[in-house]
Structures are given as structure tokens and as C-alpha cells.
Structure 1
């Protein structure tokens, strides 16, 4: 049965912190986990909760996102009613100066007439850079039970947590948000990290947009910081696996960690009642030649492995030649590694060629990135 909720996914409002990976794609289209894109987790979480009306706010650089999503049939979203919509900046007589968005509220203002036509009671706003497998039916139920204005999906932080840029963090008293701040590290004052997933009544979102227009505010976060003392903001603490891909280093660490962490893979990718869907390619199986050695790695279909692959993520069509050693690497589709080459802590974009005998090494705190179509 279709749930009376609508999803809004922001595809690339944090491109600056992932600029290496977003020169030719939006954040939502970044490859992850050897066969997925980041958008797959957003769409799958929504469709698994029977939310079949999903809107993706695109800004620019979204050709690869459109190619990946297509009609939405791989997520059962090719529908006459609801389905999937990609919304980009557009000009009208009321918005003659429409521009690329820098903030969530800017994007929401631009689509306010579209939002005014939503028939669903509840709306879920989410960024595309948090990788998790969450039951939105439970989140919506908790939201309705608490009669919250906004329910923030959060994760309790470890005391040693640090981030590359300030993030929204909160503290609660009896489930209600009592304090909120932007911070780049754990503090006792605000020990829970917002995953930038918000559940609210559709009418409350319309009110937020109207209030932001009246106040001339472009940031959704600023609206929340202004309003939490006077509104009923609550949290839904998520205790499962989360990969927060908020920087290039985060992306690298999350990728190689997932490759060696079977428990995390089970929790994220292999839930029987909550599968993660992606575009189907119908590729041939990977060929492992005699002498190939594999350890703690995720390898997609259509690869050819003759050498050694350790703690790495290989996407479709990657070739590792005889005598080559690939460790702690993320190799995008179509990358080839020549005979006797050695790679360590490398992120290679699509169709990179590593020639015979080359040695390249980054560091776990500073992985080396190779641009798309480069020959090294």
C-alpha cells in the first residue's frame, strides 16, 4: 500500500567538499560500493517504505544522474501516479532571476508552487551523501506519535568524532531537541549528529518556505536554528551503519572500510526485507584467473583479475593484470591496471589506464586521485 508521504532528495548542494568526484557528476551520482550510486540508497530507502512519489532536486552536472535513473523502473518508480521527478532550476515570471542553488531553502523556494500541489500529508527531505539502510516507516510512525513539527534523523557521535566542515549537531531532553549548533567535532553540549534527513508535515514545510521568504533567509539550517526553541523538534536516533560521505577523504575511508567490514555490508546491502536497488546492467561474471589473489575486497561483475587485490573496491569492467598489486584502492568502471603495477591508497575515476610497472601510492589520510580517462 502506498504511504501518504513524498520524498525530496537534494542531489548536489555539497559539491564543494567532494570536488574531485563531482567535476563530471553530481554528488548523488557518485559510485559507491562497487555497483551502486549514492542516489540508490535514497531511492531504495524510500521505495522500501512504499513511498512512491520522489522528487530529486538537481542543480547542475546531472547528466550521469539522469542516465543512471532513467525512467525509474529499476526502483519500481516508472508510474503514472507519483513516480520519480528530477527538478532543476527554472525561471518563471515570479522567479525571473532563478539561479543555481547554494542552499536547501533556495531550492525549496524555487519549487514552492510544485510543493503546493503535493497531496501527501508528510514530506521527507534528505541529502544524498549519507549512506544507510533505514526503515522510513518506523521514522514516520515515531514522527506522528510525537506530533513533532520536524523529526531529525540523528546518530550518536563517538567522543573522537571530527568533520572536515561544520555540521548540524543536536542534544535532546526527553526526545525533544533542547540545543542545536553547527560544529566540526563532538561536544558534550550537542552529542548527536544530524544526518540531514528530516521528516515533517507537508503544511509545515510550506510554512517554513513562506517564513524564509518573508525573512529573506536562504538556508534551511538557519531556519531550524532560529526555530528549535519555539517549535516541537524531535529526533529519531538511528543505531545502524552510516557512511557519511561529506568529503573526498570520507568517501575513501568509507569505501575501503566497507570492503573489509562484512558486518557493515550485511547491515547496509543484504537485508532481506530492505534491499538496495540499482540500475541493472546484465554484465558478464567476473573472471578470476589462476594465480589471482583476493582479500577483503568488493568486486563487481565484468572484471578480469589476474593479480592481487587487497582491501579494495572494484567497479564494473576493471582489469588487474598479472603481477599487479592493488591495495586500499577504489577503482571506477573501466579502469585497467597493467602488469607488475602497484597501487596503494588510490581512487581512480572511470576508464583510467595504469601502465605496466607503474608504482603509485597515496596515504590513508591523503589518498591519491586520478581523473577520468587519464593514462599514467
Structure 2
């Protein structure tokens, strides 16, 4: 399968503020030592895609540092490989991407020069595990022009925040409502497109120069009657990090469930990430740890329950951490108590300090001495 992978990773996501104050939403840390983009990128690599373009623009430094040359994903190669596609100043060019279609249009060179027949477009801030070969085979079987990945969402999702899809009996898309106030159903588009490369080029040339810049709103939806747009149903775990701090908290708490861990990390290939040369976590004789994820380099001497502890964290004697997310290089000193808290990198929680939120509104603290 000759497929070009494109990952949309330029989002600012004001709803994730202040987590996105210093990083793109695709670079937000999750699960102790991963970044959100690791999942879509690993899905592509596990599916045999060997040429991937990352379309980014907002606060790209930490994302670029994480991706590097693509070595961890076996994308540091002579043929294909990893391409970081940022906006730049040039003749007749805008500096910023004005939408998802415009971002691809401004990087038309990667489409023109490649030998791939199809293009897979995904988002860098979605957490899920999927082998795209099945999507590829489905697309060919249906004779589709465009195939969209969809999922039936349950009551834990706010349906008005998603594109709701109406299908006929053959799984052909007949209508898409983008973030409707009163959704007609619960089948949502997951932001994954699969299409013929030449068709994508034709649609971009016909649309973007006319001042229409969004891939879904300006290209897919207006062409539902003219093109054969089909839906591919995905039934696994899927969450969108950029939906807000509450959603980010939920995603990290979900990894403490065995069924979610099994699906994300033990099925359909590995999840690759940038490694750091750190020792395994250490637990002293005073440590109490229950149902928690503790990453490399951390030393736990206190009590940790139902929490995600990132790399190189120190939780000292007498400290209590419950239902919390503690990011890299943080120190929780003696006697401190943290419940329903998200701490960004490089925080220091002073001795005896108590910080408490709740599951509906977890407390977020940025890099500081608390």
C-alpha cells in the first residue's frame, strides 16, 4: 500500500490552556512518557506508512524536539521519512495556515513529488490505536472517493462538540452536521480522512484559491452529492485531547483501566516515543502505591493512589498523591497532599501544602513553587 501520511498538528486549543501555553496540543504529555502525537504517528508506522508529513505552526519547539529526525519511529530514512511542514514566507504565500485545507495546499510539493497513490490525513491530538490497512482495503472495496473514520459515541462525550454523520444502509455519508446544537444521532467523524492523492490535489486547487480553507466544511461537505464518500466504523477507544482540561484528565485516568491499557499498548503494534536514558522507577520502604502508573526515573517514598506519575518525579515521605497527574521533574515534599490535581512540569510542592480539586474540575498548576 503506497500511502502518504499527513498529521494535522498545528492546533493551539485554547480549551487546553495553560497546558498549551508553551506547546502545541499534539505535543501535550500523556501517560507518563508519551506525547499525544505518538499515537497517530505510531498507527501510521505500524500500518506500513513510511512517509509522513507533520503540519504544525503554533508553538512547535517542543513538538519538533520530541520528533527529531523520526528515529524512534524508524522514519530517519533515505526514501520517505519524516517531514516537518511549517508555514514560511515566500512569493505569494501567507505566513500562517488559514485552515486544514490551506495547510495541505501550502505544502503541495509533498503531494506532487511523491509516488504514493493515496493520502491518509489524521490529527495529532487524538488518542487511539488503529491499523490503517483495514481502512485501505475497505476504501478499495467500496470504490470510494473519500473514506471517513466514524464512531458511535456514548454519553461520556458531548455530541455537540463533534461532527455528526448520517449514513445510508451502504455506509455512504449523506449528511454531516459540524458541532450541531441538537445532534440527530451519535455517529461522529473522528478526523481521519482517506482518499486518492490526485483527487485531493484536484479538490485543493479548486477550493483554496477561492478563499475556502477548511478540509471538512469547504471540501468534503459541499461534495457529498458529487463524490462517493463512505464511512468506516471504528469501535475501539478514542478520545480527543484538545477538548479541554477535563477531557485531558479523563484520558489520563482512563489509562489506569486494564482494558484501556491492553488496547492502547498491547494490541496492533507498539506505541513509539522519544526515549530518555533514565533508570526504572524506585519505591522505598515507606512507599504505598495503588492502581497507578509510575514512569522511569521517579522515586516514590510517599503514598500514590489512582494517579499518573511522569518521568523523574520525587514524591517524598509522608506525601499523599491521589487521583492526580504529576508531570516530569516535579518534587512533592514531605507531608504535602494532592487530590484531583494536574501539575505541569518542574513544579515544587512545598512541605505540608494541601491542594485539592474534584473530578469534574481538577486543579491545574503551572510550573511554579507552590
Unaligned runs of 5+ in 1: none
Give per-residue Cα distances to partners, 1:302-352, cap 9 Å, x unaligned: 100011111111110011111111111111100111111111111111110
Shift of the alpha carbon at 1:155?
Answer: 1.0
SS in 2 for 1:265: helix
2:252 corresponds to 1:255:
yes
How large is the Cα RMSD of the aligned pairs?
A: 1.6
Which residue in 1 is equivalent to 2:175? 179
TM-score by length of 2: 0.95
Are 2:72 and 1:74 aligned? yes
* Partner of residue 208, structure 1: 203
Give the whole-Å Cα distance in 1 for the aligned partners of 2:98 and 2:335. Answer: 45
1:253, 1:56 → 2: CA distance?
Answer: 26
Query: Is the 1:13–1:103 Cα contact (8 Å) retained in structure 2?
Result: no
Conservation of the 8 A alpha-carbon contact between 2:316 and 2:332: yes
Question: Tell me, what secondary structure is at the counterpart of 1:334?
Answer: coil
Match of 2:341 among 343, 346, 349: 346
Q: Which residue of structure 2 lines up, in the alignment, with residue 85 of structure 1?
A: 83
Q: What's the secondary structure of 1:55's corresponding residue?
A: strand
Which residue is 2:96 aligned to?
100
Superposition deviation, residue 191 in structure 1: 2.2
> Does the alignment pair 1:218 with 2:213?
yes
Matches within 5 A, 1:53-64: 53-64=51-62
Partner of 2:225: 229
- 1:155 alignment partner in structure 2: 151
Q: Distance in 2 between matches of 1:146 and 1:130?
A: 26
CA offset at residue 17 of structure 1? 2.4
What is residue 307 of structure 1 aligned with on the other side?
Answer: 302
Matched residue SS, 1:13: coil
- Residue 65 of structure 1: which of 63, 66, 90 is its match? 63
Aligned partner of residue 255 in structure 1, secondary structure: helix
Give the 3-state SS of the residue equivalent to 2:5 in structure 1.
strand
Q: Within 2, Cα distance between the matches of 1:205 and 1:220?
A: 10
Q: Shift of the alpha carbon at 1:14? A: 4.7
Cα offsets for 1:58-90 (capped at 9, x unmatched):
103111111111111111111011000101001
How many Å separate the matches in 1 of 2:340 and 2:101? 37
Provide the residue aligned with 2:35 in structure 1.
37
Of 333, 345, 356 in structure 2, the residue corresponding to residue 361 of structure 1 is 356
**What stretches of structure 2 of length at least 5 have no aligned partner?**
none
Residue 128 of structure 2 is matched in structure 1 by 132
Post-superposition CA distance 1:266-294 (Å, at most 9, x none):
000122x5111111213111110112111
The equivalent position to 1:115 in structure 2, one of 111, 115, 130, is 111
- Is contact 2:301-2:318 (8 Å) kept? yes
Displacement of 1:363 after TM fit?
A: 1.7
In structure 2, C-alpha distance between the alignment counterparts of 1:57 and 1:308, rounded to whole Å: 41
Paired position in structure 2 for 1:20: 18
Aligned residues: 367
Q: Give runs of aligned pairs for residues 310-325 of structure 1, distance below 5 A.
A: 310-325=305-320
DSSP 3-state at the match of 2:161:
strand
Whether the aligned pair in 2 keeps the contact of 1:13 and 1:102 (CA below 8 Å) is no
Q: Which residue does 2:293 correspond to in 1?
A: 298
With over 3 angstroms needed to count, the CA separation of the structure-2 counterparts of 1:186 and 1:35, relative to structure 1, is: farther
CA 1:352–1:185: 2 relative to 1, 3 Å: farther
Give the distance between the partners of 2:26 and 2:132, measured in 1 at CA: 19
Change (3 A) 1:233 1:39: same
Q: Relative to structure 2, which stretch is displaced further, 205-214 or 247-256?
A: 205-214
Query: Structure 1-normalised TM-score?
Result: 0.94
- Alpha-carbon deviation of 1:186? 7.5
Q: 1:67 to 1:215 in 2, by over 3 A?
A: same
> Does the aligned pair in 1 maintain the 2:164–2:180 contact within 8 Å?
no
SS in 1 for 2:87: coil
Give structure 1 regions of 4+ aligned residues with deviation exceeding 4 angstroms. none
2:139 is aligned with 1:143 = yes
SS of residue paired to 2:54? strand
Counterpart secondary structure, 2:84:
strand
Q: 1:104: Cα distance to partner?
A: 0.5
